[in-house]
Amino acid sequence: QVQLVESGGGLVQPGGSLRLSCAASKNIFSIYTMGWYRQAPGKQRELVAVLTSGGNSNYADSVKGRFTISRDNAKNTVYLQMASLKREDTAIYYCNARHILQYWGQGTQVTVSS
């Protein structure tokens, strides 16, 4: 069993930045693919960014060049650095760990508004 706890969400103005954190209860990064997903009101959950155990990353086209996924192995924490935020980035952001099984965090709200 793996617990994931997100933090770092909040209210930010368009063009601003936020950093989300996802703390895992175990050292899993050498095995699990870590990902950030988001779900906006009335929409399906969508993939934002992934980081494989080998260190390869991939991003949704809508966030390429603005978001960066990274990890700190010593802290068992994955980050999502978000810059140049747009109103359409408003959503609940979820952390995901996937190997044979997958685990989800509880989500953290990001609201981009002036």
> Percentage of the chain with pLDDT > 90?
97
104 confidence band (pLDDT: 50, 70, 90): very high
Q: Give residue 103's pLDDT.
A: 97
Predicted pLDDT at 32: 95
- The string over 20-53, giving b where at least 16 C-beta atoms fall within 10 Å of a residue's C-beta and e elsewhere, is bbbbbeeebbeebbbbbbbeeeeeeeeebbbbee
CA dist., res. 7 & res. 25, Å (int): 14
Q: What is the pLDDT of residue 24?
A: 97
Which tens digits make up the pLDDT trace of 11-66?
A: 999 999 999 999 999 999 989 999 999 999 999 999 999 999 999 999 999 999 99
Q: What is the mean pLDDT of residues 79-105?
A: 97
Q: What's the gap between Cα 8 and its chain centre?
A: 10
